[in-house]
Amino acid sequence: MLQPLIDWLYGLPFVQWLIKLAPRFHTAFVEADRWQMYLKGLVITFEITLVSIAMGLVLGLFVAMVRTAHDQQRPGRRNPLLGVVNLICKVYTTVIRGTPMMVQILIWAFVILRGERNKVMVGMIGMGVNAGAYISEIIRGGLMSVDPGQSEAGRSLGLGYFDTMRFIIIPQAFKNILPSMGNELVTLFKDTSLVNAIGAAEMTYYANRIGGKTYDYMPPLIGIACIYLFFVIILTWLQGKLERRLAQSDRR
Amino acid sequence: MIDVKHLSKSFGDNLVLDDISEHIHPGEKVVVIGPSGSGKSTFLRCLNLLETPTAGTITFDGAEITDPKADINNLRRQMGMVFQHFNLFPNMTIRKNITLAPVRTGLMKQAEAEEEAMALLRRVGLEEKADAYPAQLSGGQKQRIAIVRALAMKPKVLLFDEPTSALDPEMVGEVLEVMKELAREGMTMVVVTHEMGFAREVGTRVLFMDGGKILEQDEPHAFFAHPREQRTIDFLSKVL
């Protein structure tokens, strides 16, 4: 009774195509234990993401604090050193945000750090410096989004600039910037695939190589696309959870 | 206690304070009134340098706070400020709001500060709110907490910037009550307000400001009974 239906399904071109796919994916992922290469690449992808987001946070926080501190100086009491550092920070964000990340990575690998063999490290530096510029603007926006009355209240209690930042402004800014930071993390995670262009062995690099070796690019590329998507969904979910936890002080 | 000499403040071309000289004595409750835009809030905010004066000097307890080398943080510790919009820290519990500054500035140890916070909260009848967040409080409760937060630093003077203007009418009373009690205890206070009843009842001196100047001042009963300047008479006839 079911047999005709099964025969009919089997005869469909789409199903035929699916059945032929199985061996292709088998070649791309299982044969010669190739899945280990994706795994190795995925670990490197995570390493690059983590190191560059950490670098970006440090750079970004520094630049954001310099730029807000500079803008908040009381007239007549301007610090000349802060002025110079502020100018450097401005040039940095303008150059980094005004040029393509791909070009920056190529410049790091083939101009600035030409002799460096460790391409993964070069990729981390390129991406970290890039992330710093974007994160600094995210943090700066976050700091500015906090009501000026908060800083006034902190300062009028006798707290210094850094204590006011640390206990009052940054925790509130953190909540405001979390969505944009999550986006930055997701973008960075996906953009690690760019460093395969300089020969850093992350996941895209291996997928590309396997595609070349087996003369079949579709299975490895679709495969890693699914892996990227999977982790992006997980990251987004974690971000949502964190946001809900930080909303604790908003409940009434 | 606070000595203001030839204080001027302008924002760009806009002259907000025009050569003000004034002295605030210990124990005084100075109430500053005047139409909006008269510069009364700016005057108050200059006293603890939330606004930087364009010209003039302010001396607090013998120290010139307008001196660029003055330790402004140390001076601000001794001058509490209460804002129109409370400015409680929404990311902290009430307890933390009150204890943060005394602990971080080294005035008290954590345990001592918490004890002090609870004692102050009991005084304003809000001890059960110690672990609540500001968002869970009414406006009147927030402002009472803001006063407690300023008091926790044991300031020598309290500055109030329109403390009841952002409150629903039925909450004004509870905040004024706390302020009256402080006044009775001898706290030196400078209060910018629109509450004429408070000015009359609590003030030891009323300053009337308009156009960046102190137009007229007097002891409250005389001030309200016999205003001298035409501008003051017009203003009082509108608000009383």
Contact with chain A for residue B50, Cβ under 8 A: yes
The SS3 of residue B46 is helix
Q: What is the spatial distance between Cα B21 and Cα A155, in angstroms, rounded to a whole number?
A: 25
pLDDT of residue B69: 83
Residue range B191-208, pLDDT digits in tens: 999 999 999 989 999 999
Q: Which residues of B205-236 are buried (b: 16+ CB within 10 A; e: fewer)?
A: bbbbbbebebbbbbebeebbeebeeebbeebe
Q: Could you tell me if the ipTM is greater than 0.95?
A: no
- Is the CB of residue B26 less than 8 Å from the CB of residue B188? yes
CB-nearest to A159 from B78, B85, B101 is B101
CA–CA–CA angle B150, B154, B159 (5° rounding) = 45
A141 CB-contact burial (10 Å; exposed 0-12 / middle 13-18 / buried 19+): middle
Q: List, as ranges, residues 147-166 from B with C-beta within 8 Å of A.
A: 149-150, 153
- State residue A76's pLDDT score: 61
Per-residue pLDDT tens for B117-134? Answer: 999 999 999 999 999 999
Alpha-carbon span B77 to B61, nearest angstrom: 13
CA distance B97 to A198: 52
Interface of A with B in 53-92 (CB under 8 A): 74-77
pLDDT band at B167 (very low <50, low <70, confident <90, very high): very high
CA B159/CA A3 separation, integer angstroms: 89
pLDDT at position A23 is 84
Q: Token pair 């407690």 is at which residue?
A: B148
pLDDT of residue B204: 93
* pLDDT bucket at B67, cuts 50 / 70 / 90: confident
- Percent of chain B exceeding pLDDT 90 equals 85
* Number of other residues whose CB lies within 10 A of the CB of residue A231: 17
d(CA B166, CA A234): 44
Intra-chain end-to-end CA distance of chain B, in Å: 31
Q: Which residue in the set A153, A155, A252 is minimally distant from B135, CB to CB?
A: A252
pLDDT in the model for residue A175: 86
For B91-100, the pLDDT digits (tens) are 999 999 999 9
Nearest beta carbon to residue A158 from set B101, B135, B146:
B101
Q: Which of B73, B87, B136 sits opposite A158 (nearest CB)?
A: B73
- Beta strand B29-33 pairing with B205-210: parallel
DSSP tag of A73: P
Residues in chain B with CB shorter than 8 Å from the CB of A157 are 76-77, 80, 100-101, 105, 149-150, 153
Reported as a single tens digit per residue, the pLDDT across B11-66 is 888 999 999 999 999 999 999 999 988 999 999 999 999 998 999 999 998 889 98
- Say what the pLDDT of residue A252 is: 58
Q: Which residue of A has its CA nearest to B49?
A: A156
For an interface test with B, which of A146, A155, A156, A176 has the most B Cβ atoms less than 10 Å from its Cβ?
A156
Q: How far apart are CA B26 and CA B125, in angstroms?
A: 28
CA distance B208 to B192: 10
**Cβ neighbours of A73 in B, within 8 Å:** none
At residue A74, the pLDDT reads 67
Positions of chain A with pLDDT lower than 50, given as ranges: none
Report which of A173, A137, A143 is spatially closest to residue A72, judged by C-alpha positions. Answer: A143
Per-residue pLDDT band at B145 (split at 50, 70, 90): very high
Q: Give the pair of three-digit tokens for residue A174.
A: 């953190």
Contacts with B108 (C-beta within 8 Å, 6 or more apart), sequence order: B99, B102, B116
Q: Do B105 and A159 touch (CB under 8 A)?
A: yes
CA pair distance B87, B101, nearest whole angstrom: 14
Query: Tokens 């550092």 — which residue?
Result: A85
CB nearest to A156's CB, from B48, B89, B134: B48
The radius of gyration of chain A from alpha carbons, rounded to an integer in Å, stands at 24
Instruction: Report how far residue B100's alpha carbon sits from residue B118's, in angstroms, rounded to the nearest whole number.
Output: 14
Give the pairing type, strands B213-218 and B205-210.
Answer: antiparallel
Q: What are phi and psi of B125, to 5 degrees?
A: 70, 30
Inter-chain residue contact B150 with A147, CB threshold 8 Å: no
